[in-house]
Every structure is written in structure tokens, then in C-alpha cells.
Amino acid sequence: MPLYFAYGANMDAAAMALRCPVSRLIGSGRLPGYRFIIMREGYASVVRDPARTVWGVVWELASADIPALDRYEGVAGGLYTKAALPVRCPDGIRRALIYLGCSTAPGRPRPGYLDAVVAAAQAAQLPPRYLRELGSWSRGLPA
């Protein structure tokens, strides 16, 4: 079963249960060398930054769940693209599916979106410093 690294709305266990009912939460993970952004379309993405790390959660997916994620992430419409990147998982570094926003221009979160991301990050018990970083997007574009 492939691994999937979620750093935005798909960190939410209830939402993933609806989209990918066979998925199984593995635990928190991190993607070194990237930083979290809200892209101009109002959704989360990550961009390369050697000094930063993006935290999220790692899911084990059934292959049959991937088309549902592709639809949700707007792959066919060009909102996101897929990649396999090395992610630090509870059991070491593993390659995981990740959705990367096609836009790298920063923007503002859609109403309610960031609240859901931060709530999911809190539920996953991500580091407090990282939670503050996520929350800073609600006050404008972080440096």
C-alpha cells in the first residue's frame, strides 16, 4: 500500500475517512527542505526551502483510493500535481505520495479553510511552533 503525506485539509481523519475509506493513519511526518504556503487559489501547498520543514500526517492508502484523492486535489484541472518525495515517517525516511500546488504564488486562504487545516494539525499534535506558523497565514502572508 502506498504512503501519502498530507499537510493541508487531508490531515483531517474524518475527511479522509469519507474520501479514502480504506486509508489508515500511520502518524505524524515531516518533509524537510520545504515550507508551507497558501497559494493564490487559497489552498495549501509546499515550496522548496532548504532551511524549513513542513509537518503533516502520513497515511497508508489503498491504491483504489488514489483516484478519489486525485479528484479532490484537482489534478486533472491543473490545481495540483503529484510527486513521490522522501518524508520522515515514524519508522524512518520513506517515499510518499504528495500533492504539490501548480501555483507557487502566495495568496490568502479561502474562508474557513485554514481553520480546518489548523484544527487537523492540532488533532495530529504537530509541534506548537509549527501550529503558530500555520496560524500566521490567517493574519496575512508570512515572511
Supply the CATH number for residue 29's domain: 3.10.490.10
The verdict on residue 78 lying in a domain is: yes
Domain containing residue 56: 3-133
Q: Which of 41, 60, 73, 133 is catalytic?
A: 73
| Helices and strands: H and E segment counts in the chain | 4, 5
Q: How confident is the model at residue 138 (pLDDT cuts 50, 70, 90)?
A: confident
The verdict on residue 140 lying in a domain is: no
Total structural domains within the chain: 1
Q: What is the pLDDT of residues 66-93, one digit of tens each?
A: 999 999 999 999 999 999 999 999 889 9
The verdict on residue 138 lying in a domain is: no
Q: Supply the pLDDT for residue 141.
A: 59
Q: What is the pLDDT of residues 20-59, one digit of tens each?
A: 999 999 999 999 999 999 999 999 999 999 999 999 999 9
Residue (of 51, 60, 5) closest to 28 by Cα position: 5
Q: Quote the pTM value.
A: 0.94
Q: What is the pLDDT of residues 96-129, one digit of tens each?
A: 999 999 998 999 999 999 999 999 999 999 999 9
Is-catalytic flag, 73?
Answer: yes
**Which residues, 6+ apart, have CB-to-CB distance to 139 below 8 Å?**
none
| 50: helix, strand or coil | strand
113 labelled binding-site residue: yes
